[in-house]
Amino acid sequence: MIKQIHHINFIVRDLDAAIERYRALFGAPISAPETLPQRGVKLARFRLSGIWLVLVQPLDPSGQPAQYLEKHGEGFFLMSCQVDNVRKAAQQASAQGINVLDSEPRQGLDDWQVMDLDPDDLFGATIQLVESHE
Amino acid sequence: MIKQIHHINFIVRDLDAAIERYRALFGAPISAPETLPQRGVKLARFRLSGIWLVLVQPLDPSGQPAQYLEKHGEGFFLMSCQVDNVRKAAQQASAQGINVLDSEPRQGLDDWQVMDLDPDDLFGATIQLVESHE
């Protein structure tokens, strides 16, 4: 059901500083910062061999990304895995005993439709399902 | 200099339980557990679209993986990025102001030659350089 890694998110406190450092390390052009208001974050991204790497800075202290940052500190935030149909994939995960945190897909960047799996059922890793047809 | 993501490691307390759950989610055959004595861990792995996903359980409580687990809890551990020449790539990272934690490449699984970058210079993310020609 899971085809490939679609994007990996890193949570940071200072997006501009992180952009500069990641650009230096990866030698890749990084997008201008974007905001995702429904998620309470700003972010910038680049592609590495077909996979999006996304730097995320929380803006809304009550949002889930800010809470994650508070609890875990900076670093890896989530790995999003591409599926053909996110609702069906979530049902399959649920049938395997993995709790799905979203009852409906959330709109991410571009055409990304995402649903989060419960890290408590995946040994602490935040793994997300994403449907994207672009 | 960095070509692609080569492997992503997840740190877990109970490898056998994690294998069962990740096999259910990813629908992929997962290798039999291996040990990497020089790292003080046992692990199992599977490939997702050309990228190794590695489940790692610390065995040696004084090793770096055990210390990471103690500090951060279970979940994402590191992302290893493939380069043509790990020594040269480490020199380039160093020239960009990123501290390289290993003075010499370490032997990982298979023919993997790895060098870790300092998470303090990468906003908390443990990013590793790896040279592999298999």
**Is B25 within 8 Å of A73 when comparing Cβ atoms?**
no
**Is A2 within 8 Å of B48 when comparing Cβ atoms?**
yes
User: Residue A51's pLDDT is what?
Assistant: 97
Structure letter (DSSP) for residue B111: T
Its domain, for residue B94, covers 4-131
What value does the mean pLDDT of chain B take? 96
Looking at beta carbons, which residues of chain A come within 8 Å of B14?
123
User: Residue B67's pLDDT is what?
Assistant: 96
Q: What's the average model confidence in pLDDT over B35-44?
A: 96
Q: How far apart are the first and last CA of chain B?
A: 18
3-state secondary structure labels for all residues of B59-106: CCCCCHHHHHHHHHCCEEEEEEEECCCHHHHHHHHHHCCCCECCCCCE
User: Residue B8's pLDDT is what?
Assistant: 98
User: Residue A134's pLDDT is what?
Assistant: 80
Looking at beta carbons, which residues of chain B come within 8 Å of A81?
48
Rounded to the nearest angstrom, the minimum Cα separation between A24 and chain B is 6
Q: Is B91 on the interface with A (CB under 8 A)?
A: no
Q: Is A88 on the interface with B (CB under 8 A)?
A: no
Query: What does the pLDDT look like over A26-35, one tens digit per residue?
Result: 998 999 999 9
Interface test with A, best of B10, B76, B83 (most A CBs within 10 A): B76
Q: Is B1 on the interface with A (CB under 8 A)?
A: yes
The ipTM estimated for the assembled molecules is 0.95
Rounded to the nearest angstrom, the minimum Cα separation between B42 and chain A is 16
Looking at beta carbons, which residues of chain A come within 8 Å of B1?
27
**Is A24 within 8 Å of B97 when comparing Cβ atoms?**
yes
Q: What's the average model confidence in pLDDT over B42-55?
A: 97
Q: Is B25 helix (H, G, I), strand (E, B) or coil?
A: helix
Residue type, A83: V
Question: Which residues of chain A, if any, have pLDDT below 70?
Answer: none
Query: What does the pLDDT look like over B99-122, one tens digit per residue?
Result: 999 999 999 999 999 999 999 999
For chain A, the domain total comes to 1
Whether the per-residue pLDDT at B134 is higher than 90: the answer is: no
CB atoms within 10 A of CB B95: 9
Whether the per-residue pLDDT at B10 is higher than 90: the answer is: yes
Give the nearest chain B residue to A72 (CA atoms). Answer: B72
User: Residue B102's pLDDT is what?
Assistant: 97
Whether the per-residue pLDDT at B85 is higher than 90: the answer is: yes
User: Residue A70's pLDDT is what?
Assistant: 94
Q: What's the average model confidence in pLDDT over B8-31?
A: 96
Interface test with B, best of A22, A49, A100, A118 (most B CBs within 10 A): A49
Q: Is B79 on the interface with A (CB under 8 A)?
A: yes
Surface-to-core class of residue B29, CB atoms within 10 Å of its CB (0-12 exposed, 13-18 middle, 19+ buried):
exposed
Structure-token pair, residue B18: 């994690």
Please, are residues A133 and A112 in contact by the beta-carbon 8 Å criterion? Answer: no
Structure letter (DSSP) for residue A74: S
Share of chain B above pLDDT 70, in %: 100
**Is A96 within 8 Å of B18 when comparing Cβ atoms?**
no
Q: Is B88 on the interface with A (CB under 8 A)?
A: no
* CATH code of the domain in which A94 resides: 3.10.180.10
Q: What's the average model confidence in pLDDT over B57-76?
A: 95
Distance, in Å, from the CA atom of A45 to the CA atom of A9, rounded to the nearest integer, reads 9
Residue type, B30: I
